[in-house]
Amino acid sequence: MKIFKEITGLSLATLLAVGLAACGSSAAKENDAQKGQTVGDQVDYTIVGTDPGSGLMQATEKALEEYDLSDWELVSGSGASMTAALKRAYDKEEPIVFTAWSPHWKFIKYDLKFLDDPNLLYGDAEEIHTLARKGLKEDKPEAYTILERFHWDTEDMGEIMVAIEDGEDPEMAAQAWVDDNKEKVAEWTKDVPKVKGDKIKLAYAPWDSEIASHYMMRQVLEGMGYDVTISSVEPGPMFAGVADGSADATLAAWLPITHKNYIEKYEGDLDDLGVNMEGVRQGLAVPTYMEDVNSIEDLKD
């Protein structure tokens, strides 16, 4: 045992060179083998992905091409399956490469790092925009004004996300944030007259970040007298719904890169009400205990 403690700092190649690799327990051998392995070997050339319609998956397909990672496979799933895989790996300190975005509770709960993206395939300064259907401004000027003014920051969204992840009911978590942030909400609703039960529908894709924002806005608009429906849909129908008027608005457009394809398709058929959050980011990530992996280019080794 002792000898293996002493040699764990050596690479597999070194072990082979000094002729020690053939002896010892299998666990120790596995450890040593892992050290000599490429990151691809360690994770079976698999990137744990999220939902297939997300911009993050589209960007990752492109990244695999542009960074020459054709031997890697991007496995789709959902936000929930991705965080479940992350939890399993993280608890055992096992290697994992996954698609990630921020703000997200995973960056608050775990020590994770985005991999550098020198070719900027995941964009640089991404923002989240609010979109509304054509005609909302005339039909529901009160809601339009609030949606147009709506702006918060990554910590705000993070608070609601962490509360929900910790088991709080989303509606309660959203209301708690609204109660704790009356001044911020008052900036959005200042001088806006209340309405009497007018219906309004927001569409969102069920990403943890967007669950937080849409539950929050539902509480705010209900407080202003609206009868609010928030409807969880796939990303494609989310944009299509605002463009064809079956949804009134969404707070979930990540631009300029993440949802480029969607926005180009529907530009002209909807109103962009501007940025509701700056400083958002998406890309590939790993736990920080994967010390030698810091850039997407390191996946090539």
258 binds ligand PBE (CB under 6 A): yes
Can you say whether residue 192 is alpha, beta or left, with left for phi > 0 and alpha for psi between -120 and 50 degrees?
A: beta
Determine which residue in the list 130, 154, 209, 250 makes contact with ligand PBE, applying CB under 6 A. Answer: 209
158 binds ligand PBE (CB under 6 A): no
219 binds ligand PBE (CB under 6 A): no
Q: Which is nearer to ligand PBE, 158 or 235 (CB)?
A: 235
The site map against ligand PBE for 27-66 (x = CB under 6 A) is -----------------------x---xxx----------
Distance (Å, whole) CA 179 – CA 193:
20
The site map against ligand PBE for 159-198 (x = CB under 6 A) is ----------------------------------------
Determine which residue in the list 144, 207, 215, 239 makes contact with ligand PBE, applying CB under 6 A. Answer: 207
276 binds ligand PBE (CB under 6 A): no
Torsion of the alpha carbons at 44, 67, 124 and 285, rounded to the nearest 10: 10
Instruction: Report which of 248, 240, 239, 225 is spatially closest to residue 132, judged by C-alpha positions.
Output: 248
101 binds ligand PBE (CB under 6 A): yes
DSSP readout, 70-81? TT-EEEP--HHH
145 binds ligand PBE (CB under 6 A): no
Q: Write down the least CB distance from residue 34 to ligand PBE, Å.
A: 30
Q: CB count, 10 Å around CB of 238?
A: 26
Positions in the binding site for ligand PBE (CB under 6 A): 50, 54-56, 101, 207, 209, 235, 254, 258, 282
